[in-house]
Structure 1
């Protein structure tokens, strides 16, 4: 009986910790959206189209490339670039500058408290 009670306590404790309430960061303009995550993704795509500036070579040709950007929306709601991985330094720098222009937003929360949220996004510029 003691073993049964001990196992029951572990199971109930596991369920209690597994039910942590988590919310996503809220991009400005998404406050009243039905699906905040979908709105976040849509606003990020719009932000990329508006703010990414293609670097140019000495010949005036646009430099293209693939990058993988890791960034965090901090508990203060600010975008902080953690890393940019790609083959072309010019594209990496342009991608980093674009992410740094993300507007401040409502941070994600964990159990009602502001919490950092990490994102890793591939781009093909």
Structure 2
């Protein structure tokens, strides 16, 4: 009887497991774990679709909330940042543009909504983002 209960519990555990996004098993028994990028609220789809959606929504957020400073000079701005395990932005550096533009870009990025953090194999992780655009 104990063996039957154990077998049923074992079978139930394996049939109720859900697959993790980004984890695939190939026929050659090679396990491939892909990084799932941070996800902007409302973005769905494949890993590539989520990544593209995040970048589009972030660019739209910057355009919508950016207020041109008095020392504005048209130019390229590069942002080196990451989304931490809590889904919040952490800016490493902002290069290009005037000091006022850099300050405004930092302000706008820190206003972004909390996103679903990136993960690898179901474990949350910091996810690098490098952005470059012309203002």
Q: TM-score range by the shorter chain?
A: 0.7 to 0.9
Root mean square deviation, CA, Å: 2.1
Choose from 102, 109, 121 the match for 1:92: 102
The CA deviation string for residues 55-107 of structure 1, in whole angstroms up to 9 with x for no partner, is: 114xxxx5433211111100110011110111411111111111111111110
Contiguous gaps of at least 5 residues in structure 1 = 1-11
Q: Distance in 2 between matches of 1:44 and 1:87?
A: 19
Q: Distance in 2 between matches of 1:50 and 1:38?
A: 18
TM-score by length of 1: 0.74
- Spell out the pairing of 1:19-98 with structure 2 (5 A cutoff): 19-30=32-43, 32-34=44-46, 35-57=49-71, 62-98=72-108
Q: Which moved more, 1:71-80 or 1:86-95?
A: 86-95
State the number of aligned residues.
106
Q: Which residue of 2 aligns with 1:103?
A: 113
Q: Which residue of 2 aligns with 1:123?
A: 133
Q: Which residue of 2 aligns with 1:8?
A: none
Deviation, 1:118, is: 0.7
CA contact (8 A) 1:65 1:91 kept: no
CA contact (8 A) 2:74 2:97 kept: no
CA contact (8 A) 1:54 1:64 kept: no
TM-score by length of 2: 0.69
Contiguous gaps of at least 5 residues in structure 2 = 1-27
Q: Distance in 2 between matches of 1:50 and 1:113?
A: 33
